[in-house]
Structure 1
Amino acid sequence: MSELWTAERTVSLVWAAELIGGQFPELLPLTITLLGEGFDNTVYRVNGRYVFRFPRRSIAVELLRVECALLPHLARLQLPLQVSEPVFEGKPTAEYPWPFAGYRYVAGALPGRVTAEERIRSSRPLAAFLRRLHGFPVEQAKRLGVPNDRIGRLDLSIRLNQADSNMSKAIERGLWSDRHDWDELIAWLDERAKKSGNGSGDGIEGGVGNGGAFTEALVHGDLHIRNILVNEERIITGIVDWGDVHTGNPAADLALVYSYLPPEGRKLFFADYGEVDVQTRMLARFRAVHTTLFLLLYGNDRQDAALVEAAQDSLRLALNYP
């Protein structure tokens, strides 16, 4: 059975050069290098100044269109962290039937292994960024075509079993060893879901099973160690890959607080971002574990030892391991 990240089409370096050079001759002669491959896109750096993303799966096509409509508006806000800004709109061809896009290069590197002190130094820049992002007018985002959360990222009726299955896979493959903290987290969430569904009044209003009650916000939707960039001091400076952007529960983004920041950093973050209720924190922590387990299994499948180690670090933080 194919994994979630299995590509339907992969644009090779030579093919990417043909598509870019054919549609954007002003960029010739091209200097092009592979920057990375994700679940949804193959990414190339072009002429040192631009990044081109080519969808790998049909599901990513509409995501690309949405982010290209929204990102110019975010870029004009001069947010505390850099964001991708689309400047080239590639058209489908007979050979490659999907659109693709070129963005201004966002300087920085993937964080990899980062010390606790380095992580803490990112707390306040991240808080300032998410406070501004989550304050973006939701109605304006919707007019730009940004959807709501159509896939239930925080729908525990779906995601709990999915994450539990992935935890079992991680243990079976020797990538993780202890379920104790994970079992405590899902027991807490499961109990809250039952209470919110039986009319007791003790659960989360609206039901924890669908994300609970929350103030709708514009959210990135996929914040994790593969979509943040750091500078030479290992401080977060950029946020990339906006394909999952939507309007919904801010807990989807606050997951990064639990997968990247140690407890001291979380205190600094919420002091600047603003306090959130315990249910939102727990949903964010769950989302952090859910996403990180996918990254852990993906890194193992791709034999990417650096990603496996970084994902294990994130999982320890999200599960409150020392």
Structure 2
Amino acid sequence: MKEWSNENPAVEQQSVRRVVEDNSVENLREVIGQELPDLIVHDAHPIGEGADNTTIEVNREYVFRFPRKGREHRHSFEEENKVLKALRGKTTTRLPEIEFEGKTYQWSGYKKIPGVQLKDVKEELTDTQREQLAKDAALFLFELHNALPISEAAEFGLKRPRGGPSREKLSDIRQLVNREFPDEEMREFLLSSIDRYEHMLGEASPPQGLLHGDFHPGNIVVNPDTNRLNGVIDFGEVAIGDVYVDFAYQFARDKDFAKAMMEEYSRLSGVEFSEDKMKVYGVMRILTHWHGDPKRVVRAKQWLEKLAVMV
């Protein structure tokens, strides 16, 4: 493995950026080896590649995340790391604790949170286990939403969550609906949901808090021995906004689990949820995460169909 030259820092930084943006495991492994010479890398394999980050697991002990190309992704990556540092010790649930950060390019590493993703075990849980896990998830969200004063969180440069778009974005979302949904009944349901959301923007604001922004079963880590919540990962969409947003994804996919979360959250916080509003947030969550991948489009349309017939 070659060594980076210290004689020309600008050239060195450019070389590291080129290697990182290639996103192959071997290149990312090379960057880790060069910037962390005391860490002997025995094993490295990818464990996820989302819209914003590429993630690899090293030695089955550490997780390293690298932002994708583009200044916006690198900026959100920086925000995420700042928030995670500010959240240390403020939640009962384990969160990633940043131990390593890139010297010449943005990346970070933390000890892997042990457990399995909820998406891989959810169907195997008993009703009692699901109810307890929903309560665990509600406690996490309650603690997260109240972990930092809004003014302090705003200093990190956080924006509105993607699941709760600004009024200016609604025109694009309406165009998406008109383009992708030829069925008149479904199209009218979605357009009326967007209208309802726009009206909600002018109403008294729901409770605001620090949001995870992408709270779904793939980012929820469960202890396989106890089936209790053990950690939450991927704060790449952390934001300030309506607390409804963090329930919207679950509501769109698994209404019963989401309702159990909402009931416990209400008990802890006193917030009363409107299922009508939650349905609207579920629609907006899916539409604002629309993706061109045909498989993901099919899945998104299935979730929207569930919301359309939900009573």
Alignment TM-score > 0.5, same fold: yes
**Does residue 155 in structure 1 map to residue 166 in structure 2?**
yes
Q: Are 2:252 and 2:283, in contact at CA under 8 Å, matched by a contact in 1?
A: no
Deviation at 1:25, TM superposition (A): 1.6
AA matched with 1:229: V
AA matched with 2:249: L
Distance in 1 (CA, whole Å) between partners of 2:22 and 2:259 is: 42
Q: Secondary structure at the match of 1:9?
A: helix
**Does residue 276 in structure 1 map to residue 273 in structure 2?**
yes
Q: Secondary structure at the match of 1:102?
A: strand
After TM superposition, the score normalised by the length of structure 1 is 0.72
Deviation at 1:123, TM superposition (A): 2.0
Report 1:133-144 matches (<5 A). Answer: 133-136=144-147, 137-143=149-155
| Residue 289 (structure 1) aligns with | 286
Distance 1:105 1:63, change over 3 A: same
Report 1:1-322 matches (<5 A). Answer: 9-58=21-70, 59-79=72-92, 81-92=93-104, 98-107=105-114, 108-109=116-117, 111-112=119-120, 114-115=122-123, 117=127, 120-136=131-147, 137-143=149-155, 145-149=156-160, 153-159=164-170, 161-162=172-173, 165=176, 169=180, 180=185, 183-190=188-195, 193=198, 196=199, 204=200, 206-207=201-202, 213-232=205-224, 237-262=230-255, 264-274=256-266, 275-277=272-274, 280-290=277-287, 293-294=290-291, 297-298=292-293, 300=295, 314-315=303-304, 317-320=306-309
Q: Are 1:119 and 1:235, in contact at CA under 8 Å, matched by a contact in 2?
A: no
Larger Rg: 2
After TM superposition, the score normalised by the length of structure 2 is 0.74
Deviation at 1:86, TM superposition (A): 1.1
Distance in 2 (CA, whole Å) between partners of 1:192 and 1:55 is: 31
Q: Secondary structure at the match of 1:133?
A: helix
Q: Structure 2: 5+ residue runs without aligned partners?
A: 1-19, 267-271
Q: Secondary structure at the match of 1:75?
A: coil
Q: Kindly, what percent of the aligned residue pairs are identical?
A: 24
Distance 1:312 1:162, change over 3 A: closer
AA matched with 2:257: G
Distance 1:106 1:287, change over 3 A: farther
**Structure 1 runs of 4+ with >6 Å offset:** none
Q: Are 1:153 and 1:252, in contact at CA under 8 Å, matched by a contact in 2?
A: yes
| Residue 200 (structure 1) aligns with | none
Q: Are 1:154 and 1:252, in contact at CA under 8 Å, matched by a contact in 2?
A: no
Deviation at 1:157, TM superposition (A): 4.8
Deviation at 1:318, TM superposition (A): 4.1
Which has the larger share of helix?
2
Deviation at 1:244, TM superposition (A): 1.6
Q: Structure 1: 5+ residue runs without aligned partners?
A: 1-7, 93-97, 173-177, 197-203, 302-306
Deviation at 1:76, TM superposition (A): 1.2
Q: Are 1:146 and 1:245, in contact at CA under 8 Å, matched by a contact in 2?
A: no
AA matched with 1:41: N
Distance 1:149 1:53, change over 3 A: same
Aligned length: 280
1:141-195 CA distance string (max 9 Å, x none): 234x1423287842355246437626854x69xxxxx7745632431441563xx
Distance in 2 (CA, whole Å) between partners of 1:228 and 1:23 is: 30
